Structure 1
Amino acid sequence: MNTLRVLEGRERYELIHLIAEGGMGTVFKARKIGVAGFEKVVAIKMMRNKFSDSEAYVRNFISEAKLVANLIHENIVQIYHLDRFNDVYYFVIEYVDGVSLYEFIDFHAKLKKRTPLDLAIFIAARVARGLAYAHSRRGPDGKPLGIVHCDVCPHNILINTEGVPKITDFGIARITSKSAAERHVSGKLAFMAPEQARLEEVDFRADLYALGIVLFYMVSGKMARDVTLPPNEQLALARENRIDWTLLPEELPEEVADMLRRMLATDPGERYSDTALLARDLEYFIYKDGYGPTIVTLADYMRRLMPGRFGIEPAGPETIGDSDRTVVITPQ
């Protein structure tokens, strides 16, 4: 039985099944077991063993946990605990029972449909509120931390069964005070702001740009740039801010098109001066005539749209790697 050291009394974690697996880390659905039959479903993000000797990767992994630990907002996935076993770090995070925004958009594409405009704006507004919270955080000295997510994209936006959008994976988030020597191109090229692609200093407005590409994707069902090109050509498009505006639906309201043009401006100075202002404009569009979409509206829509996918749990513990048993993380 595989074990990891847990420092929280007699608690233990049972890894139920693999959620996602990337090049440098894995995420598992897990069950936290406490005293007197206490249980809580969580997720565990774990470093791959082969990166445990990489000082830079370990530093980034720990930085993500520390950075997000104090970001407590309904639209941000919460981190609960950081620990390590045999020099392999892992952290325990909020488990989001639902789908990623990428799955949500892709499901529409397979049905040859587009995301309903009011729901697309609602999702973008909720993400903007989460980002506004992160962007506005201050340190113990009262000075702004200058947090920038740097990887806002549909894969990093989750929607739970209650219809609440949540931002996740602050793995490459940065503080804007980083020196030029510490900057490197990281993130999804398809959603990257021009200044980020050019290795220039970035601030919260890079996240506004990325959210603009996400909103473009939702309302059009198409990517704003050609994602079939080789990475170097996609990087060039990002640096030049090439946007195919002809892909937007002709019936798209001008107010929404105006917001997109502002979010996707080449010059960061022409974008929104505050993330909360963007959230307000998005919310005004969907609520200005009275009642608009809520998390209940979104949850009900997803259940109707994806009855065979939404809210269905695996029948039991799934195989993790080459193992045919549930892995348990226990104190030693």
Structure 2
Amino acid sequence: MKWTTDEFTGKRFGKYEVLCRLAVGGMAEIFLGFARAGPFVGRPVVIKRILNEQREDPNALQMLLDEAKMTATLSHQNVAQVMDLENDAEDVLLVIEFITGANVEEIVEAYTARQEPVPLGFAISVIREAAQGLGHAHQHKSARGEPQPIVHRDVTPRNVMVDFDGNTKVLDFGIARAKGSERRTQAGMVRGTTAYMSPEQAIGKELDPRSDLFSLGTIFHELLTGKRLFYKGNPGQEMAAVYEGEIPIPSQVNRRVPRALDSVVMRMLERKLDKRYQNATELIRDLSLAAGSTAWTRERCAELTKERFAARQKDIEKLVARIPQRSPSYPEVRTIVTRGPISKQQLNDDDSAAARTMIGGQPLGDRRPPPQPPTDPYREVATDPGRPVMAPPKPATPPPSAPLTAGLKSNELFDDEDEAPQATRIIPGSSMRSMPKVSEAPTDPRRPSIPRESQQNLRRPTPTPTPPPQAASKLPLFFAAVIALVIGGAGGAFVIKRMQPTQAPSAMVKLSLDTDRPATVFLGKMTLGTTPVAVFVQSGKHQLELQEASGARRTLQVDLSATEPETKLVVALDSLPQLP
């Protein structure tokens, strides 16, 4: 991973500017950048941008949105925090906090290059804090407070990172899924890194938090032994090794590993779910008891990370130095707190625009009481029953916005004096004045008055005669019979279609293949290995290609049933058709 400026430096995605590109994968590309506006202005962040060719795929887009939605609900010191999500017509961006450090895979490679084992205390500290982060996700609750555990499903050394402060964080919940959420993985498709899958994940079963603990146990085993546990260089063989491969005891590979840690690691790697750790809390408890004082502190972990990746730390500092200190759209405001007038000595040339801190709209040095708002005579009369009733003063001339009825007598708007509203009276202790009824509201004096008899006639609509109902036409008997025959035939066809057998669902099954002479087996572009091979593949019909050492190529058709967990084949190469 390069931490230097490149051709992407200075490129902008929305309100974010790129410092460099860190990586690119099959679905998204990762950038280091910073925000030019918003609440995170000037702060370095990691920008995950979905590739243009993947934006047309609704599943890929929805996976990124699901990752943002789920991770945004997680707030823990051992989980990388999602900060922002932008989804517009041009780009889809997931903004994550920037963690300065190295992932576990890079740390192991650094020690392997020197032919040194990873320190035992460092490995224990990393696994314990990673378990705390996963445990927080496993204890996730829905908005209603109901348990809704989030399963990561891709716990690998690349997704566990140690920063320069010694903190361990779990990254990339890209294929995580909460319990009860919609399943977006197609049937028969297994997502995740095969060498770090759990046995139930390798064969496509439903997962729970115990699957993440198995994956974390694989990382722990490799940190203690310094060797890859299930890595074969082939996805099918790796899934077979996860499902039934031998798991050596760590102390038999590395004698420095205490026996107490053996039991913890081997229980994490139990293939039977009921014998594995049921939750992260149990794991953290046993790991702390087995480790004792062997586990490193965060300060010591920070020293290791800084020592091994000192050059990276300098490169990151150079990149971050390119971020502007302040945004032009957010000018700096300096505040001087004082209890008296500011002297000229307190101000320099740059502070000419500074102002004293204000309290209640006045400077601290001014002790005059703030001006009182104007009193409302209506409010005084209504809220103080002990004072005499006072009406508000009337203006000498009506304001420009006065109604058209200003200056007229009340009975001039009505035909009878009885219909005129009574004078409004303010009652002490009351919070509002009596209002006329809606039916007594005055009418517009500019309109001519209508006698009551005419008004009553207007209110009574003239009844309109309704035409007599027409006789309904009768449906011919033979036409009804034809419709019944058509409906009956369609129903019979539907029943026949429902009675047809449905296609069996696909699943991951085991294929064991051996030949009379060694041959390399290919499934499409994927190499399954050299016979004998035992791999997990999707059920259904497949065409295998077998290539001998002489270069001769032959083809083999196999039909793997989803109901049979394993299919064993022993074939003679000469009996297979040869490819040109």
Q: Shared topology, TM-score over 0.5?
A: yes
Change (3 A) 1:307 1:166: same
For 1:302-317, what aligned pairs fall within 5 Å after superposition?
A: 302-310=305-313, 312-313=315-316, 315-316=318-319
Task: Sort the Cα spacing of 1:181 and 1:163 in 2 relative to 1 into closer, same or farther, 3 A.
Answer: same
Q: Which residue of 2 aligns with 1:133?
A: 136
Q: Distance in 2 between matches of 1:262 and 1:78?
A: 30
Which runs of structure 2 are paired with 1:44-59 in the superposition (5 Å)? 44-59=47-62
Q: Does the CA-based 8 Å contact 2:20-2:33 persist in structure 1?
A: yes
Q: 2:238 — aligned with what?
A: 234
What is the alpha-carbon distance in structure 1 between the residues aligned to residue 243 and residue 179 of structure 2? 19
- Of 194, 201, 217, the residue aligned with 1:196 is 201
Aligned to 1:43: 46
Given candidates 241, 247, 262, the residue that maps to 1:243 is 247
Q: How does 1:12-161 map to 2 (within 5 A)?
A: 12-34=15-37, 38-161=41-164
Aligned to 2:265: 260
Number of equivalent positions: 309
Q: CA deviation at 1:292?
A: 4.6
**Is residue 193–residue 241 contact of structure 1 (8 Å, CA) maintained in 2?**
no
How far does the alpha carbon of each residue in 1:254-312 deviate from its partner, in whole angstroms, 9 at most, with x for none? 111101110000111111122112122223333x34x8522111001222334334454
Measure how far apart 1:87 and its partner are. Answer: 5.0
For 2:11 and 2:261, how far apart are their aligned partners in 1?
51
Q: CA deviation at 1:72?
A: 0.6
Counterpart of 1:328 in structure 2 is none
Listed one character per residue, the Cα deviations across residues 140-184 of structure 1 (whole Å, up to 9, x for unaligned) are: 222211210000011011111101111111011012446696573
Moved more, 276-285 or 158-167: 276-285
Q: Which has more helix, going by share of residues? A: 1
Residues 315 and 309 (structure 1), Cα distance of their counterparts in 2 relative to 1, 3 Å cut: closer
Which deviations, in whole Å up to 9, do the C-alpha atoms of 1:38-75 show, x marking residues without a partner?
A: 51111111100000010111111100000100101111
Query: Offset at 1:24?
Result: 1.0
In 2, Cα distance between equivalents of 1:218 and 1:24: 29
Distance in structure 1 (CA, Å) of the matches to 2:40 and 2:263: 54
Deviations 1:86-112 (A, max 9, x none): 253111110011111110111010010
Paired with 2:38 and 2:198, the residues of 1 have a C-alpha distance of: 48
Q: Give the residue type in structure 2 aligned to 1:240.
A: E
SS of alignment partner, residue 42 of structure 1: strand
CA distance in 2, matches of 1:79, 1:37: 12
Alpha-carbon shift at residue 85 of structure 1 (Å): 3.3
Alignment CA distance shift 1:243-1:298 (3 Å): same
Relative contact order (C-alpha < 8 Å, sep 6+): which is higher? 1
SS state of the match for residue 80, structure 1? strand
Measured in 1, the distance between the counterparts of 2:227 and 2:45 equals 33
CA 1:140–1:315 in structure 2 vs 1: closer, same or farther (change >3 Å)? Answer: closer
Structure 1, unmatched stretches of 5+, are 6-11, 318-332
Q: Tell me, what secondary structure is at the counterpart of 1:308?
A: helix
Report what 2:298 is aligned to.
Answer: 295
Give the CA deviation at 1:138: 0.6
Contact 1:100 1:154 in 2 (8 A): yes
Cα shift at 1:225: 1.8
Structure 2 residue 176 is matched with structure 1 residue 166: no
User: Is the alpha carbon distance of 1:34 and 1:219 closer, same or farther for their aligned partners in structure 2, counting shifts above 3 Å?
Assistant: same
Whole-Å Cα distance in 2 between the matches of residues 58 and 95 of structure 1?
22
The gaps in structure 2 that reach 5 residues or longer are 1-9, 321-580
Contact 1:122 1:282 in 2 (8 A): no
Deviation, 1:227, is: 2.6
SS in 1 for 2:43: strand
Equivalent in the alignment of 1:8: none
Identity of aligned residues (%): 28
Deviates more, 1:61-70 or 1:169-178: 169-178
Please give the alpha-carbon distance, in whole angstroms, between the structure 1 residues aligned to 2:40 and 2:308: 36
Change in 2 beyond 3 A, CA 1:149/1:35: closer
Equivalent residues of 1:99, 1:310 under 8 A apart: no
Aligned to 1:271: 276
Quickly say closer, same or farther: Cα 1:4–1:148, change in 2 above 3 A: same
Larger radius of gyration: 2
**Counterpart check, 1:225 vs 2:234:** no
Q: Secondary structure at the match of 1:133?
A: helix
